[in-house]
Chain A
């Protein structure tokens, strides 16, 4: 098999073991199920690692909530690909613009996701990409403005797991 997916094996095993009983119960009773991944995964970055990553980005500056809007689906269909859009409220003029946008997470193996550099020529501070989420967790977008201030927005994304899988786990 070309696609070996063992990245979050620990998470999946735990979840599927409990999901097994739900499969039967849910289908039989005809109840809708919305079980989510809440198990702990191993070898992951921690909130502390995320805090350190944010410190590396912002240095001594305080990162204030505001100006930034992080758009992500609250419930992701598959943690392998979660869309995200970051928009920053900025006139994007030479005097007042967004210099950089960073995205970091709490529980992936590493806190870093993407860091972009942009400037007034962007016209708008608006970027989109797709990211992996090993588990249900917090994602933070941070914008660095030309005046040296840092702003952020935070989202929690719940990750569901596929039912029909590649390997028996």
Chain B
């Protein structure tokens, strides 16, 4: 018992006496563990945020798009796609949109040059879209049936676009769509499952037929469908059949929350890279420990010799060196965990997530650093123990 206390005491006093060297030894395990803890913690936090989002939005939103059609460059869905989708019994609500290309959006006529660099998506949307997506409006109102029947030039814009155009809530203003003035009647809230909508302009189908397309009525190219929770996969398959039946168009359906989770998978790839780099840093740090301690054994051979002469056994000498390495591992590991937690905290604060860190992460980080340092320290420790006192002391 007292022997292990003596060993610990000597190991720490040896490290304290050679501060520069100790700091250098600590860097490897510290940076490695910090990288791993940060990578795992940040992806967990992101995943936690995603889960919260999905839980909030519901998992039962399905997107059915026109995927490919014979002889059509931008495939569309049948004109009665919404009615067809509604025939699927597990479907609760449906909304359709048509994505337009090449409609230049500017806040006012003179601003054409200033704003034509970043394309702003323009979509025809029906009256049900906010209800199906379960989002509200920041101000004003959504497009309604009267806008369709009166063929009004009205538009709802996304929240980010409103900010970009300095649109004030309730302001009487128009935006220019390919030169046509559209009255802004509302601003849509953020749609977490469709981040692109934040920057988009929504107009009635009838206005699109009048101003932008050579078709009337305008066919949709995408449906948003809410189904009974738990029937996502079933509904998604049924939709492809029900909507595409008898036509040339292939329908691809996907559950939106799954798409989101798929996107999170790519984060996991990043996590894997960062964790690998952390492991590499620890291994390199371990090699550094092995190297520095091997040099140390040579430099301290006289000290080892005198300790042996004083009655310290080979075992004690080996343990002493090993313990110095372990102390580096423990301290480096703890500092690495703290540094990693700091990185998670900074990242989480910047992203507005909730701090998530698995309970096993801290002990695992320290344990990893200790294991590496034990491996790194054992070779120099054995070398130190093998030194013959007479050879290192060289009597007169």
A and B physically associate: no
B residues adjacent to A (C-beta < 8 A): none
A residues adjacent to B (C-beta < 8 A): none
